[in-house]
Amino acid sequence: MNNRQTFILLVSIFICAGLFSQTSTIGNSLKKNVEILASDSFEGRGFKCSSKALTIDFLTREFAEAGFAPLHGSYQQKFMDFSYLAAAEGTNIIGVIEGTDSILKNEYIVLGAHYDHLGWNMEDSVKVIFNGADDNASGVATMIETGKKLLLNRSQLKRSVLLIAFDGEEAGLKGSKDFVDKKVVDLSKIKVMFSLDMVGMYKKNDGLNIVGLYSLENGTNLFADPLNRSGLKVKKTKNSIERRTDTKSFGDKQIPAIHITTGLLSPYHKPEDDSDSLDYKGMSRIADLVSDYCIVLSNEDSLMASNAFATTKDEANDAKSKTNNSIFSIGYDLGAGSNYHFYKNEFFNAKPVFAFEGGLSSQLKITKNFILQTEINYEYLGSESVFGTMRTHSIVPAMDLVFTTNNKRKDGTFFFLSAGGFYRYNFAGSTDVKNMSVFSAYNHDEFGVKYGVGFQLKKFQINFHSKLGLTPIDKSLPNSGVFNRGKYISIVRFF
Ligand SMILES: [Zn+2]
């Protein structure tokens, strides 16, 4: 071997060693990332666990170290969630790999994977942590891995790729929904979305499931070559978009959305879902397949929703009825009826007079049969007796527990019974009773109960209710037992 040959051999060895070490670092980081995310110190990455900050810090650092760029100057997209009575902050972690084509780089392929899991429980005073290695540390690690592979082949990537670790998936697809609702990037620029959710059990499931390929025009054909090159086996495909994970949020906005998973042969939502049970080789091959497919898609002149998907109005309608069916809504209410003074200790009663109420209402759907409805109304009511007529103006906050037939039906209709309480502040009044001013005789403050029946058609509610005062309102004769009794029919319009 002459000097020149020796030199070439040495250079080749260095290049090979370099390439090898690069590939093996990638493989190692896949496993390392799962081990960290699914370690006990991350406490199962529960949406509302305080330890979630660890996950957020870790992923932010990983995204930066991997070389993904921040979006609009930050890796973190925060959002607030107000369901389940207490407010909580959510954080999506977002990184960008910019495409190399001067025009196509303005369009995005989204690679998503939710990072939250179920947190932990106390069972018989033992802390049980749901580490969620397959669900979904596997998806997050594989997404980061895919991003690293794309960076290595960036010269071939024409469109830009957004890598998003979504928060709050287990709590109801909250992170992905917020991302599309807020239009963090112009939704018309997102050409396709992938969700990697539970990709760590390739061997056990003996294949992959690809759900929603049809939503992308020519998506199945374009997938054939990368799939062949990967040598991976696809076990199940399904035409419809997967609605149990983040693909739903994008599909509802008519964005083609493809769910990739190794399936449910997994310790799904069990405390045994730990990092030592995953198939890291399989995950690395899935990262190869997804990065290859991304590059193929990024090179297409145009990426569009398939006709079949674009004309599937189901998703859009579902999305619509979902908004009608949102957990919390606010509206206004108007009611009319009658009110009279009930004299508990007398043989006579007053006559009812016209009563009116109007104000703001809110509705919190707690379960499919149970709603908390609150309102704050202005009320105009009164009573007529042989001595004359009396009228009051009041402010009345009230709260009802509402027991409903299934209130989550798609068409948004249900019937209900309600029961609750109110406080009435009588702030002004008038009377034609001689020698009497209203508040010399009557209290400003009053408490009472209410009950009713009604039905709701999407955003309209009609209810009949009675309001029974429990505080005697006549202060000049505390034992007289004079109480307000009212009946109303009211319409509530929720936005
Ligand atoms: Zn999941």
The more confidently predicted of residues 159 and 18 is 159
In a shared domain, residues 292 and 385: no
In a shared domain, residues 349 and 461: yes
Å from CA of 114 to ligand 1 middle: 7
Structure confidence by residue, pLDDT tens digits, 317-338: 555 554 456 788 999 999 999 9
Q: From 263, 297, 315, give the residue that closes a domain.
A: 315
Average predicted confidence (pLDDT) for the chain = 88
Å from CA of 209 to ligand 1 middle: 14
- Of 97, 274, 94, 303, nearest in space to 184 by CA: 94
In a shared domain, residues 120 and 252: yes
Q: From 315, 350, 383, give the residue that closes a domain.
A: 315
Structure confidence by residue, pLDDT tens digits, 166-175: 999 988 899 9
In a shared domain, residues 256 and 188: yes
315: pLDDT strictly greater than 90: no
Which of 16-20, 158-162, 176-180 is the least confident region? 16-20
Range of the domain at 265: 32-315
User: How high is the pLDDT of residue 246?
Assistant: 96
397: pLDDT strictly greater than 60: yes
22: pLDDT strictly greater than 50: no
For position 93, which CATH number holds? 3.40.630.10
In a shared domain, residues 272 and 355: no
In a shared domain, residues 418 and 450: yes
In a shared domain, residues 95 and 148: yes
Structure confidence by residue, pLDDT tens digits, 428-448: 888 887 767 777 778 889 999
In a shared domain, residues 140 and 83: yes
- Is the peptide bond prior to 136 cis by the omega test (within 30 degrees of 0)? yes
Please count the other Cβ atoms lying within 10 Å of the Cβ belonging to residue 468. Answer: 14
Distance CA 416, CA 406 (A): 9
In a shared domain, residues 279 and 354: no
Average of pLDDT values for 347-373?
Answer: 91
In a shared domain, residues 91 and 232: yes
Q: What does the CA dihedral 173, 175, 176, 179 come to, rounded to 10 degrees?
A: 150
Distance CA 395, CA 376 (A): 7
Å from CA of 140 to ligand 1 middle: 10
Read off the pLDDT band of 84 (50, 70, 90). Answer: low
Å from CA of 167 to ligand 1 middle: 11
Which of 14-23, 220-229, 306-315, 481-490 is the least confident region? 14-23
- Of 488, 485, 490, nearest in space to 351 by CA: 485
Average of pLDDT values for 334-344?
Answer: 91
Structure confidence by residue, pLDDT tens digits, 265-304: 888 888 888 889 999 999 999 999 999 999 999 999 999 9
The model's pTM? 0.62
Domain annotation covers residue 131: yes
Å from CA of 197 to ligand 1 middle: 5
Encoding tokens for residue 244?
A: 């149990």
In a shared domain, residues 263 and 358: no
Structural domain tally of the chain? 2
Å from CA of 318 to ligand 1 middle: 21
Å from CA of 38 to ligand 1 middle: 13
Cα Rg for the chain, rounded, in angstroms? Answer: 31
User: How high is the pLDDT of residue 443?
Assistant: 82
In a shared domain, residues 352 and 405: yes
For position 466, which CATH number holds? 2.40.160.20
Å from CA of 70 to ligand 1 middle: 25
Distance CA 148, CA 156 (A): 14
Distance CA 370, CA 424 (A): 25
Q: From 286, 315, 344, give the residue that closes a domain.
A: 315
Read off the pLDDT band of 17 (50, 70, 90). Answer: very low
Å from CA of 72 to ligand 1 middle: 27
Å from CA of 24 to ligand 1 middle: 27
